[in-house]
């Protein structure tokens, strides 16, 4: 017994929670790369943003270049989703024992 349920049911729960977190992380990564693509389309070659370096700078630049875009909002939603997912993982592993 794990968390008051059988081992098989607990593993199904862990897999579902893990897949949700992986999906949110993948979506956030794809949104960030789309923002970099859009920014780089408007910048000269020597000023383009590297794929391996992106933080709050891309959000600021993207918002300035594409004021009506929802990508920054979606990226923020994914970030909050990852925090919630992390809290759920902690709840499953720590508080349910």
Residue 36 contacts residue 58 (beta carbons within 8 Å): yes
| Tens-digit pLDDT profile for residues 14-49 | 788 888 888 888 888 888 888 888 888 998 988 888
Q: Decide if pLDDT at 89 tops 60.
A: yes
Burial 39-53 (b: 16+ CB within 10 A, else e): bbeeeeeeeebeeee
Cα 44 to the chain's mean position, in Å?
28
User: Backbone dihedral region of 3: left (phi > 0), alpha (psi from -120 to 50 degrees) or beta?
Assistant: left
Q: What is the pLDDT of residues 42-88, one digit of tens each?
A: 989 888 887 766 666 777 788 888 889 888 888 888 888 888 888 88
pLDDT exceeds cutoff 70 at 5: no
Q: What is the pLDDT of residue 8?
A: 78
pLDDT at 2 over 80: no
pTM of the model: 0.63
């Amino acid at each position: 017994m794990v968390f008051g349920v059988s081992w098989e049911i607990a593993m199904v729960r862990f897999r579902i929670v893990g897949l949700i977190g992986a999906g949110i992380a993948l979506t956030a990564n794809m949104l960030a790369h789309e923002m970099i693509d859009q920014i780089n389309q408007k910048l000269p070659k020597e000023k383009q943003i590297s794929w391996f370096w992106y933080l709050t700078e891309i959000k600021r630049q993207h918002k300035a270049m594409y004021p009506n875009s929802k990508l920054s909002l979606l990226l923020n939603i994914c970030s909050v989703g990852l925090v919630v997912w992390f809290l759920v993982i902690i709840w499953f592993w720590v508080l349910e024992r």
